[in-house]
Structure 1
Amino acid sequence: MTKKRVLTTSLLALVAIAVGCTAWIVKAQSYAFTEQRVDIPVTNALADGGSTPDAHTGGSLHAVLTVPKSGGGKRPLVVLVHGDGAANASRDDAYQAVREAFADAGYATLSWDKAGVNGAPGDWLAQSLADRGAEVGAALDWAHTRPEIDADNMGAWGVSQAGWVLPAIADRRDDLRFLVIVGGAVNWLRQGEFNLSAELRADGASDETRRAAFDRRTRNVAMFERGATYDEYVASGVDAEPMSRARYGFVMRNFRADATGDLDRIAVPTLLLLGTADRNVDVVETERVYRDHVPPNLLTVRTFDGASHSLTRDDIEYRPDDLGVFFRAVFAPRSIFAPGYLDALTSFAVDQKTPRA
C-alpha cells in the first residue's frame, strides 16, 4: 500500500471515529424533555410569609420550564431548588438527568437562575433563606396561571441548602403536595462543623492543623453570635483569607438556620435521599432528626452507598480533574449519579400523582 493510500485510509478512519463520537455525545446529551425560558414576577412575594414585601429576589425569576416530550395535556410540576453558591437554572447542566427522571414520570420541571447569576436581577448573597422560600412561592403562584401545568399536582425537589428552604415553605403552601430533599442538613452550625471535620479528614490533616482549624471556627462563630461587623471580622485576622463582605452578610443572615421546627409541621409525603460519602452533611444526624420529627407514614428515606452530597458517585465527585471523569460526564452523563438515584426520583414522583377528575 502506498504512503498516500495509508494516509487517506488513516484520515478516513479518524473521520469515522470523530463522527461516531459526535453521534454518541449528541445521543448521550439528549434528554426526554423540551426547554422554554420564562420570566416569573416576584414583586408580590412575601419573604416572611405575610408581612414584609421581599426586597432581595430582584423582582423576577429568570427561569427554565421543561416539559416531557412524550404524552400531552396538563403536566404535573416539580420545582427544583438550588443549594448554596451561584447557580444558573440547570446548575451547569447538572440538573439535566434530574429533569429527565421527573419527565419519565410525566412531570414538567421549573428552575431558575439565582438572583444575580446569568443576568438575573438581584443578588443571592443578599438573600435570607426566607427570601429563597419567597421565590419558591412565586414560582408556584406563576404555575397556577399556566395552561400546561396541572396545579393540583405540584411538588418540589431541593438539594443541600434547600433542606432549610422547602420544609418552611411547605408549611405555608397547601398546593405543594410532596417534597424531595437531597443531602439536606438540619442545623447550619452543626453542618459547618461536620463539613470542616470531614474535609480535614479527607485531606489527612495533622492534629495540629485540625486544632488550629477548629480554633478559627470557634472564633468565627463567636463573632457571628455577637453580631460583629464585617470590618471587625476582617480586623480580627481570624481568617487568613477573609470571606467577602457579601458572603459574610449572607452567613450572618442565615447561620441560625435549623430545620427541626419546620420538620414538625411537614404534612406531605417526603422523600429524603442521602449519600454515605457526603462530606458536607452528617447524614446520620439528618436521618435521625427527620425520623424523629416527620410522621413515619409521610417519610421515605433512601441512603445510597458511596454517594456524595449531591448523590453523584464519590469516585467522581472527589476527582473533578480526572480525565476519565470528564469523559464519563460527556459520554455517559447519567452514570455520574449513584445507581438507583434517578429511578428513585421517577418512582416516587409517579406515586405522588393525583388522578385528574
Structure 2
Amino acid sequence: MLRIVLPFIALLMVMTIAALSRLQAFELPDSARQRHVVFSQGADRLEGTLLLPDGISSPPVVLLVHGDGAQDRWSAGGYLPLVNYLLSQGIAVFSWDKPGVGSSSGNWLAQTMADRADEATRALEKLKALPELQNSPLGFLGFSQAGWVVPRASRQSRADFAVLIGAAINWRSQGFYFMRQRLLSEGVPDGEISKALADETEAFDKQYSRQAVERPCLSHCNRQDFERRNALADAREDIRKMTTPVLLLMGEADRNVDSDESVERWKESLPANTPRCLRQVSGATHGLLRSALFDYQLTSQWPLCKQGAFLMLGQKAYAPGVLPGVADWIHRQRCHVEL
C-alpha cells in the first residue's frame, strides 16, 4: 500500500506547487519596483502605478489603455498575468484607474474617444518627464475600444511603439457585429437575425445623427450619453496619419469585433512607410485567450469553472505565441514567427 500512496502524494505535491505558481501570476511580484504616479487631464485627477523590472535601467515602458467599462488600473486583476510576463521580459508597465474608478476622479462615461486619446497622451507625457525614464522607449498597449484611442494618442504623444489587441474600427459596424454574434450564440434563426439587424440599423441611423452626437449631456453623463456621443467613432482617419510602429493582433474567434474587417481596414489605411505587424491569431478570443476554453463575449458570462480555469492557467490562458509576440514587438518591433 505504501508503494502506491507515496507516488500519489508526490504527484499531488507537484500539482499543488504548479497550481500555486500559476496563481502567483495574479500577484504583483515583490521584485518589481512600484511608483505611484498622478497626472491630470482637464478637471480629472488620475492615479496609477508604474511597475519597473528590477535591475534594469531605462527599460521600455508600456502604458495600458483599457477597453470599455469601469476599469481600475489592473482590470480587477485580469491584466496581471500579462503584466507579470512583461516584467519578466524586462518591460516596465504603467496603468491607471479610469476617471471615477478606484482612486481617479471624474466620470469615464463623460468621455469621447478623443478625450480618451488626450488622456493617454497626458499619461505618456507624464512618464517621459520622470528622470528614470529619460532614455526609455515608451508606447501603448490597448484593448478593444482602445482601437479608437491608441492611433490618435500615438501620434499626439510621439510614442515609440503601439500594440493593439482586438481593436475596433467603426462604432456602428462593431455594434452590429456584436449583436449578430450574440444572437448566433443564442441559437436565433438566420431570418430573425437579419430582420433584427435591419431594424437595429434603421433605429441607429435615426437616433445618432451628427447633431444628436454633438449634443452635451444634460447633467451627469450616463451610459446612454456615452454611447450617443461616441456613436460615429471611426478609427480610419487617425490610422491614416499614424507613423508609430504598430502591432495589431486580432483573435480569429473574436465574438466582439470582426477581426477580418479590422485587419483589412488597417492594411488599407496605414501609411505605407509605417512599420507594422497585422496578424490574426488562430484559436484566440477577443482578448487573445484560448478560444477552446474562453469562447465568450464578456468575462461576466464565464461560469465558475472558466473563472477557475483562468486562475489556474494564468499566462497559459493566452493563445500560444501571443505573449512572446507582444514582448518581441515592444523590444524590437519584430513580427513574432509563431503568431
Scaled to the shorter chain, the TM-score interval is 0.7 to 0.9
**DSSP 3-state at the match of 1:36:** strand
Closer/same/farther in 2, CA of residues 134 and 315 from structure 1, 3 Å limit: same
Q: Structure 1: which 5+ runs fail to align?
A: 2-9, 46-53, 230-243
**Aligned match of 1:275 in 231, 247, 251?**
251
Post-superposition CA distance 1:89-144 (Å, at most 9, x none): 11122211222332233221101111111242111111111221122122112212
Q: How does 1:185-334 map to 2 (within 5 A)?
A: 185-206=168-189, 207-208=191-192, 210-212=194-196, 214-225=198-209, 246-296=222-272, 298-318=275-295, 321-334=302-315
Does structure 2 retain, via aligned residues, the 8 Å contact 1:75–1:148?
A: no
Alpha-carbon offset, residue 314 of structure 1: 1.8
Structure 1 residues 280 and 138, CA gap change in structure 2 (3 angstroms): same
Say whether the 8 Å CA contact 1:311–1:337 is kept in structure 2.
Answer: yes
Question: For residues 306 and 285 of structure 1, do their structure 2 counterparts lie closer, same or farther at Cα, with a shift above 3 Å needed?
Answer: same
Label 1:245 to 1:120 Cα distance change in 2 as closer, same or farther (>3 A).
closer
Q: What residue is the counterpart of 2:53 in the other structure?
A: 68
TM-aligned CA deviation for residue 340 of structure 1: 0.9
Distance of 2:212 and 2:125 partners within structure 1: 38
Q: Deviations over 1:123-177 (max 9, x none)?
A: 1111111221122122112212323324541111101110100101122222x11
Q: Give the aligned partner of residue 217 of structure 2.
A: none
Q: If you compute each CA radius of gyration, which structure gives the higher value, 1 or 2?
A: 1
Counterpart of 1:339 in structure 2 is 320
Letter in 2 for 1:303: Q
Q: Distance in 1 between matches of 2:135 and 2:169?
A: 29
State the distance in 2 between where 1:181 and 1:97 align: 17
Q: 1:296 to 1:105 in 2, by over 3 A?
A: farther
1:123 aligns with 2:107: yes
Q: Distance in 2 between matches of 1:171 and 1:226?
A: 25
What residue is the counterpart of 2:337 in the other structure? none
Distance 1:293 1:226, change over 3 A: closer
Measure the CA separation in 2 of the matches of 1:250 and 1:139: 22
Q: Partners of 1:351 and 1:108 in 2: how far apart?
A: 15
Q: CA deviation at 1:24?
A: 4.0
Identify the residue that residue 177 of structure 1 maps to in structure 2.
160
2:151 pairs, out of 167, 180, 189, with 167
> Do the aligned partners of 1:200 and 1:210 also contact (CA within 8 Å) in 2?
no
Check conservation: 1:28, 1:330, Cα contact below 8 A.
Answer: yes
Question: What is the identity, as a one-letter code, of the residue corresponding to 1:98?
Answer: L
Q: 1:99/1:30 Cα in 2 relative to 1: closer, same or farther (>3 Å)?
A: same
Q: TM-score, normalised by structure 2?
A: 0.82
What residue number does 1:110 align with?
94
Q: Paired residue for 2:73?
A: 89
* Match in the other structure for 1:41: 39
Letter matched to residue 308 of structure 2? F
Unaligned runs of 5+ in 2: 214-219, 335-339
Does the aligned pair in 2 maintain the 1:328–1:335 contact within 8 Å?
no
> Does the CA-based 8 Å contact 1:125-1:246 persist in structure 2?
yes
**Higher alpha-carbon deviation: 19-28 or 203-212:** 19-28
CA contact (8 A) 1:67 1:109 kept: yes
Give the Cα separation in 2 of the matches to 1:188 and 1:103.
33
The structure-2 alpha-carbon separation of the partners of 1:66 and 1:277, relative to structure 1 and needing over 3 Å to count, comes to same
What is the CA deviation profile of residues 167-199 of structure 1, one whole-angstrom value per residue up to 9, with x for unaligned ones?
01122222x111101111111101111111111
Inter-partner Cα distance in structure 2 for 1:221 and 1:94: 35
Letter in 2 for 1:276: E
- Any conservation in 1 of the 2:161–2:333 contact (CA below 8 Å)? yes
1:20 Cα offset (Å): 6.9
